[in-house]
Structure 1
Amino acid sequence: FVDGGFLSISHVTGAIWAGIGVYTRDLPLLVLVVFTLVTTLVWGRV
């Protein structure tokens, strides 16, 4: 993911298994996740 690749289903499932606590402690990561979710909902793509 860091190398600029696409967001795959393995990233999504890994994020779910890691839990929400990982993202609430890291503000830049939380902003990135929220931005990705919002743009996916608006434009339908990642």
Structure 2
Amino acid sequence: MPTLSRLLFVLVLLGGLAVAAVYGLATFVEPSQRDITVRVQMDGFGR
């Protein structure tokens, strides 16, 4: 059973690091807003 507990410990540790990374990105990184223009071709549009 030591290998199973070691595996579970590593998986929980990696999951905790992933949650901490997502929380850190959501808290400390401010997204920048910008305008996006997308051109739509008229081929077959409105049929």
> Which TM-score band applies after superposition, normalised by the shorter structure?
0.3 to 0.5
Q: TM-score if structure 1 supplies the norm length?
A: 0.41
User: Of Structure 1 and Structure 2, which has the larger fraction of its residues in helix?
Assistant: 1
Q: Which has the higher contact order (CA 8 A, sep 6+)?
A: 1
Mark the structure with the bigger radius of gyration: 2
Q: TM-score if structure 2 supplies the norm length?
A: 0.40
